Chain A
Amino acid sequence: MKRVQFSSPFLPYLFIAPQMAIIFVFFYWPSVQAIQSSFFLEDPFGFGSTFVGLSNYADALGSAQYQAIARFTVVFTALVTFLSLGIGMLLAVKADAVLKGSSTYKTLLIWVYAIAPPVAGLMGMMFFDQHIGPLVKFAALFGWDMKVGLNYYDTAFAMIAVSVWKQIPYNFIFILSGLQSIPVSVREAAAIDCRSGVRRFWTMTLPLLAPTAFFLLIINMTYALFDTFGVIDVMVKDKAANNPITLVYKVYMDGFRGNDLGGSSAQSVILMIVVFVLTIFQFRFIERRVHYN
């Protein structure tokens, strides 16, 4: 292999500078600011701030409301990740097995991904609308009086359904391409050895898909934690009331609607720590079981 050498020791830093500048401006600097203001109680207009130590953290973590939101966030993230990965995988495996008209199936399944997230959220909202939602009427046939926006569990159900629905095509695309990278010879050999398609999936396909699945696991968890913000915002129509919300929505409510900068910063630092711990955990304990080659 040929080793690339830079003529000047500064050149590589120059090349990496634009990228670092962006990360610095959009990640490190705001993070430092957030950590700093999380120790202060501040007047919104910036006329004065009082150092309060860890009391913003204590206020957030000690509040029963915050704990309830944290519990919901855990359940929500687990369900959205599991369901969107599971359904995406099922559809990909099935679409991969289709011989006739396979491109039509694939296109139809991927199609949803082309819809912009807010539009998808809005469509989902319409389906679950209290007055005109077809899914609400459908549920009524089974005696389920669904009240999205009023009943905590019904809203949670609708939020999870819309979030999962939006994420399935993404997982589908990645898993499908992962499946297609499995060599035909390996598949055929497996087919000769084992007749059961289900067993072949667990013993052969899934292990070979592990790198893709691991990547998707991380992506889906961050999606459920952060990117579902839009869905939640559309779903609760700007008024959270007694509806379930996730931690990131709470940060927004306290910081941008309530103008409580210190409290909201403390909450976002807590979230940062959670993601940090989660990522380390995933790389240390799950990635070990993943074989890339």
Chain B
Amino acid sequence: MFKPLSLAGFALAFSATASMAATNITWWHGMAGRNGEVINEVAKKFNDAQSACAITPVSKGTYEEALASGIAAFRAGEQPNILQVFDAGAATIINAPGAVIAAEDLITQAGYTFDREAFIEGVRYFYAAPDGKFVGMPFNSSAPIMYVNTEALEKAGVEAPKTWEDFETIAPKLKEAGYLPLVQSQLTWQFTENFFSRHNIQFATNNNGYDSVVDTKINMTDPNLVMMFTKLKAWADEGYFGYYGAGWNDNQKLFEDGKAAFWIGSSGSFGGLQKTAQKPFSATFLPYWGSIQGAGTNTFIGGAALFAMSGKPEAENKCTADFFQFLTSPEVQKFYHEATGYVAITKAAYELAKSEGYYKEKPAAEVGIQQLMLKSGDWSKGYRLGFYPQIREIMEREYGRIFAGETTVEEALKTIETEANELLARFAKTAG
């Protein structure tokens, strides 16, 4: 009993002296479970690879909690060096001038060269300034893709759909074969934000909110979006689509149990799904409407990015830059991609995984990245809207009411537009 203890004590003392010489930086994140463990592994790899810097990752709960703690800490002057902020919170942090140092500036100031072109198309804009400068460093990036129950397809004798029109023709056959044809997990991300992206339709004025916060208006009453939700509701009534509330897992469960034929999930679900799915599955792109002109463009990234908080000493900023540099190296990206299912964000990492035959073994792992690399359009780069977490809550509420039969699609989308525009105007006042 004494030996391991004293050994541990020795190791502790040793690592303490080692990190005393090094510059310490902290990294607050909102990941839990397996994804949280992988973050610790990434940090350990960084600490082992060099001795000048030591990074300590700290889990702050969920994405929302991580952002709230980061904000509270910043106000108290106790901010971490690196804060992970999720997609919907991006506008909050990017619109706060002086809260963060742009990742690109940080990296170039540390003496590295920064090549935007090294990143794959779909991740380049979402966390960037209007001129393309990277403000946040994309980290865990995912795309909404369609998972396919291969057994269901065989039984019904159909192929996975490319478009929603295809889906409409095969849905009755799947239903006849005893399956629920379609489930999804997040109507806001998958059927709203990425609907605009996949069909190359403008989501909000002011260049989807990127150019300015002043007088930004959301385009929720777009006739195409009305059509999408009218169809979803009709499919739900006919038994082609199942809606089980706004919770992610309540909807995913039907696919895991093999009861649903298609599930719109996240490319980041891949790792978990391999363990929980009871039937063999594959994956394909998020379908689009062939009838909409110019549809079929790429989706933008979901997930989160890392932001370098301002107000830190030069030496620590250098370490943060080192860490960002380390994080985007092909080997680390490939490790993270394979361990979690989040997409590789650089072309080099993607090529590396490909050359090693990873996608031959697991073709479903490649779908997300391929979807992000599809041709992009003017409106497929994402959005930047303030108070967006609250706007999502309004959407969730109204979408729930549509499927509970408490309101009509037109009513619901109109309500969302009105309330969202009020919030956007309010945000413009706080940021202005």
Q: Which residues of B contact A50 (CB under 8 A)?
A: 429-430
Binds A, one of B28-36, B96-104, B194-202, B374-382: B96-104
- In the complex, the answer to whether A253 meets B393 with C-beta atoms within 8 Å is yes
- In the complex, the answer to whether B246 meets A241 with C-beta atoms within 8 Å is yes
Q: Which residues of B contact A147 (CB under 8 A)?
A: 245, 404
Known: A43-B431, A259-B92. A240 touches B397 (CB 8 A): yes
- In the complex, the answer to whether B403 meets A47 with C-beta atoms within 8 Å is no
CA distance A237 to B130 in the complex (A): 35
Known: A149-B250, A239-B396, A253-B393. A260 touches B64 (CB 8 A): no
Binds A, one of B66-74, B221-229, B292-300, B346-354: B66-74
Q: Which residues of A contact B253 (CB under 8 A)?
A: 131
* Chain A residue, CB-CB nearest to B429: A41
Main secondary structure of the interface of B (DSSP, over half): helix
Residues 211-250 of A, flagged 1 when their CB comes within 8 A of B and 0 if not, give 0000000000000000000000000011111110000000
- In the complex, the answer to whether A259 meets B71 with C-beta atoms within 8 Å is yes
- In the complex, the answer to whether A47 meets B387 with C-beta atoms within 8 Å is no
Tell me whether A46 is interfacial, beta carbon within 8 Å: yes
CA distance A263 to B254 in the complex (A): 39
Q: Which residues of B contact A258 (CB under 8 A)?
A: 387, 389-390, 393
Q: Which residues of A contact B71 (CB under 8 A)?
A: 44-45, 259
Q: Which residues of B contact A257 (CB under 8 A)?
A: 64, 68, 389-390, 393
* Chain B residue, CB-CB nearest to A131: B253
Least CB distance, A223 to chain B, in whole angstroms? 25
Residues 324-344 of B, flagged 1 when their CB comes within 8 A of A and 0 if not, give 000000000000000000000
CA distance A2 to B399 in the complex (A): 70
Tell me whether B62 is interfacial, beta carbon within 8 Å: yes
Number of interface residues of A (CB under 8 A): 34
Tell me whether B3 is interfacial, beta carbon within 8 Å: no
Q: Which residues of B contact A65 (CB under 8 A)?
A: 419
Q: Which residues of A contact B303 (CB under 8 A)?
A: none
Query: Which residues, 64 to 100 on B, are CB-close (under 8 Å) to A?
Result: 64-65, 67-68, 71, 74-75, 89, 92-93, 96-99
- In the complex, the answer to whether B396 meets A240 with C-beta atoms within 8 Å is yes
Q: Which residues of A contact B62 (CB under 8 A)?
A: 238
* Chain B residue, CB-CB nearest to A43: B430
- In the complex, the answer to whether B250 meets A131 with C-beta atoms within 8 Å is yes
Tell me whether B417 is interfacial, beta carbon within 8 Å: no
Tell me whether A152 is interfacial, beta carbon within 8 Å: yes
Q: Which residues of A contact B99 (CB under 8 A)?
A: 45, 47
Q: Which residues of B contact A243 (CB under 8 A)?
A: 245, 400
Main secondary structure of the interface of A (DSSP, over half): loop
Q: Which residues of B contact A52 (CB under 8 A)?
A: 429
Tell me whether B164 is interfacial, beta carbon within 8 Å: no
Least CB distance, B130 to chain A, in whole angstroms? 20
- In the complex, the answer to whether A130 meets B387 with C-beta atoms within 8 Å is no
Task: Pick from B64, B245, B249, B401: contact of A256, CB below 8 A.
Answer: B64
Tell me whether B247 is interfacial, beta carbon within 8 Å: yes
- In the complex, the answer to whether B250 meets A42 with C-beta atoms within 8 Å is no
CA distance A50 to B432 in the complex (A): 9
Task: Pick from A42, A151, A152, A260: contact of B390, CB below 8 A.
Answer: A260
CA distance A264 to B430 in the complex (A): 14
Query: Which residues, 247 to 272 on A, are CB-close (under 8 Å) to B?
Result: 253-254, 256-260, 262-263
Residues 117-150 of A, flagged 1 when their CB comes within 8 A of B and 0 if not, give 0000000000000110000000000000001011
Tell me whether B406 is interfacial, beta carbon within 8 Å: yes
- In the complex, the answer to whether B396 meets A44 with C-beta atoms within 8 Å is no
Q: Which residues of A contact B65 (CB under 8 A)?
A: 256
Tell me whether B398 is interfacial, beta carbon within 8 Å: yes
- In the complex, the answer to whether B67 meets A242 with C-beta atoms within 8 Å is no
- In the complex, the answer to whether B245 meets A44 with C-beta atoms within 8 Å is no
CA distance A288 to B28 in the complex (A): 54
CA distance A262 to B419 in the complex (A): 17
CA distance A262 to B423 in the complex (A): 13
Q: Which residues of A contact B401 (CB under 8 A)?
A: 242
Q: Which residues of A contact B399 (CB under 8 A)?
A: 241-242
Tell me whether B162 is interfacial, beta carbon within 8 Å: no
**Most chain B beta-carbon contacts within 10 A, residue among A238, A240, A256, A258:** A258
* Chain B residue, CB-CB nearest to A40: B430
Q: Which residues of B contact A59 (CB under 8 A)?
A: 426
Known: A238-B62, A241-B245. A46 touches B390 (CB 8 A): no
- In the complex, the answer to whether B244 meets A242 with C-beta atoms within 8 Å is no
**Most chain B beta-carbon contacts within 10 A, residue among A130, A152, A239:** A239
Task: Pick from A44, A131, A239, A242: contact of B404, CB below 8 A.
Answer: A242
Tell me whether B243 is interfacial, beta carbon within 8 Å: yes
* Chain B residue, CB-CB nearest to A56: B426
Q: Which residues of A contact B398 (CB under 8 A)?
A: 242
Least CB distance, B309 to chain A, in whole angstroms? 10
Residues 53-75 of A, flagged 1 when their CB comes within 8 A of B and 0 if not, give 00000010000010000000000
- In the complex, the answer to whether B396 meets A242 with C-beta atoms within 8 Å is yes
CA distance A65 to B394 in the complex (A): 10
- In the complex, the answer to whether A41 meets B244 with C-beta atoms within 8 Å is no
Given contacts A52-B429, A237-B250, 12 further A-B contacts (CB under 8 A): A45-B98, A46-B74, A47-B97, A131-B253, A150-B243, A150-B245, A240-B397, A242-B401, A242-B404, A243-B245, A258-B389, A260-B390
Top 4 nearest A-B pairs (CB, nearest first) are A242-B400, A149-B245, A241-B246, A239-B246
List 11 A–B pairs whose Cβ atoms lie within 8 Å, in order of A's numbering.
A45-B99, A47-B97, A149-B247, A237-B249, A241-B399, A241-B400, A243-B400, A253-B393, A259-B89, A259-B387, A260-B426
A: which residues have CB within 8 A of B? Answer: 41-47, 50, 52, 59, 65, 130-131, 147, 149-152, 237-243, 253-254, 256-260, 262-263
